[in-house]
Structure 1
Amino acid sequence: MIPIKPAGQGGPIEPRNPATAALQYLQPGALNLSALPPLSLYIHWPWCVRKCPYCDFNSHEAKGELPEQAYLDALRLDLEQSLPLIWGRKIHTVFIGGGTPSLMSAAGLDRLLSDLRTLLPLDLDAEITMEANPGTFEAERFKSYRESGINRLSIGIQSFNGGHLEALGRIHDGGEALRAVEIAKSTFDNFNLDLMYALPRQTLEEARRDLETALAFQPPHLSLYHLTMEPNTVFAKYPPPLPDDDTSADMQDMIAELTADAGYGHYEVSAYAQPGRRARHNLNYWQFGDYLGIGAGAHSKLSFPHRILRQARYKQPASFMDAARRGNAVQEEHEIGRADLGFEFMLNALRLTEGFDPNLFGERTGMSISTITKALNEAEAKGLLYRDHKLIRPTELGQRFLNDLQEMFLAA
């Protein structure tokens, strides 16, 4: 963390007139952050080869030649326009997500990272992650990505089973999935494999084989997601036949057993890591850190001494590029009100299986933890939460019914 500058020195979003700044201290509901949280950068690449039927991310099917240079121009403009909001703050992690960022050319990625280094103070050991899909893997291109500065890869495997990949609408098959992991393992010291379970018609044994195949590669990090029917997706409109609740629970138990036996720590709802390999970028989200998001549809959360700001960029790539050229790619912007801050913090922090220090709540929200005492008491009484003066964490029951636990803080 870095010390907070006096009000008015964080860029034009803060009042520059000292009298105005002094009045802000007196405003009812103003926050009082003693230090700013760590800052991450998220970069969104909005195109995919094909939209998957379960996906609710801001992704768009690539039709014809992608406007790569025009989009990279817009990303630089977006970043330049955002700099006054983050003057003096170091970037600790970078995540390039999508969409399918591995559709980007090696030269395009090199240019993007060069722009970042020119405009931003990157931490010397910054974690720089890029998402990639197996259907886009080319060994030489990924070596170029590594040479440009990508030091962590996140691969959307989802399954090694050809039938399940087809049901999920993925563009790769089981063989391409295996080859992608082999390329990643030979090229990158640090990589993550994304797998999904409770897939259409998937059996417990099939889920086990997927996980065992992944573990055989000894990936430093695993993300294991339960397939969910997200609104406004093809699967939500035309639900496929899914495993029942008992089978799904058996899959979760199997995952817990196999990952623990293989030496992986389960540190977040869907995240498992070898010692020292936790995802630093995602940890910053879950610990209610700050992040600047640039690119089509990207979201930001930025803290200032007396308020916390959220932003969202224009979602459509063409609209985003036009807005960036006009001087402001931000479509929506609002401050997080005190009434919502407790819920927003707990929504993230309760995903951490080991919990958090109660002091973190005050550090990241600028409020006393007493503002959520009632909800904490109720959650503890229901056996969903454990707490003492050094720790707040979900119990095993709380992890199983995490949505119910998180919702208890809506009215806090």
Structure 2
Amino acid sequence: MLHVKELTLNIPDTTKPRVVIIGGGFGGVNLAKNLSGKEFQVVMFDRQNYHGFWPLLYQVATAGLEPDAIAEPLRKMFDEEYEDFHFRQVKVTGVHPETKTVSTLVGDLPYDFLVIATGTKSNYFGNEQIKQYSFPLKQIPDALNLRSQLLQCFEQANMIKDPEVRQSLLNFVIVGGGPTGVELAGALAEMRKHVLPSDYPGMDFSRMNIYLVEGLDRVLPPMSPESSQTTKEYLEEVGINIKLNTLVESYDGKVVTFKGGEQIKTQTLIWAAGVSGAQIQGLPPEASDRGRYLVNTFNQIIGFPEIFAIGDIAFMKTEKYPRGHPGVAQPAIQQGKHLAKNLRHIIRREPLEPFEYFDKGSLAIIGRNRAVADLPKNKHLKGFIAWMAWLFVHVYYLIGFRNKLVVLTNWLYKFVTYENSTRLIIRPYIRKDDIAGQEFVRKQADLD
């Protein structure tokens, strides 16, 4: 196995302006795709070698889709058609504005223009215990861990003698009433009604409890009050226990404690309560606010005209969006395309164009025929029409024809059969401190 010191970035020298992009998400990909290789050398760094469609992560976690249905290899997306594009799967460790270089685990690289598109990471608000024991849902490995945990809970509940332990296996607490939490709760409710009773005919799934916990006074706080109320009604129809104005104080892997003292015994707490910017070392504290980089209307980080930030990591204050743009895919997509135009303006010594976000609306799905949509001009959809709109939008924005076909086929199959077809425990999830669980897995695999 190679040591890090034996590796090199191996980026060819160039006389063209070099654009270094950190992050292969919606912003970084759309920027790179709109930059001409004849004018720029484009270098992209990311710790993973694929671009993921994160709005569908919850379907991977609930066994509705396989992970490769929502991901596309970055190298496949940038084939020989993209001249002078270079991708390296490596972690960026810092940026150095004074020398205009980026540091990685395998070496440094000079840049002419640097674009930070690193997105967000889970925010545990300083609670290390919750960070250790809860299940985030930000990346594909998170979704696979959660899928294994859910399926293992059902398997163990089917064998356990102790009714109290069985109930803790069948209690699922989702913290965060935003789109991720709402859609995950709806997917679990559909599994409880249509899938699990046939898989485990001896179990009483009326005892399976799904709790959705939100610190504010309504679910889907980013969406309109009308959509929030409709969503709350939909969730109650499918049997979700909603706890509003409720904050989590602690979770030790067995019991979640809320502020006020209420407790729920559960072995699965899913953390969808908040995110913070995935910042990189090297820029001063005054360049950021609330964990995101402060940018002007050209996406330049304040004080650093040759360093840009786009997508969720960028905090662009405008009159219409005083708290920045919503943390969804569209701002990142639009900023990536717009920044490509402005970089061309810079090298041609032309005036820059300010970014203006076009809000195409927001969508959330709660289950079959249950969805809500906030559209421009204060229009709202709900029910079957909103559900169909959600299906169309999510298939449309998937990368690659194969992924679109796979996802659409899976959804059609599920619509007809009510089946979640990927209920496989490929790699058992066992916490590091669960010695008994580790021993059980070893015996199952005959490794002891």
TM-score by length of 2: 0.25
> Which structure dedicates a bigger proportion of its chain to helix?
1
TM-score by length of 1: 0.26
The structure having more radius of gyration, on CA atoms, is 2
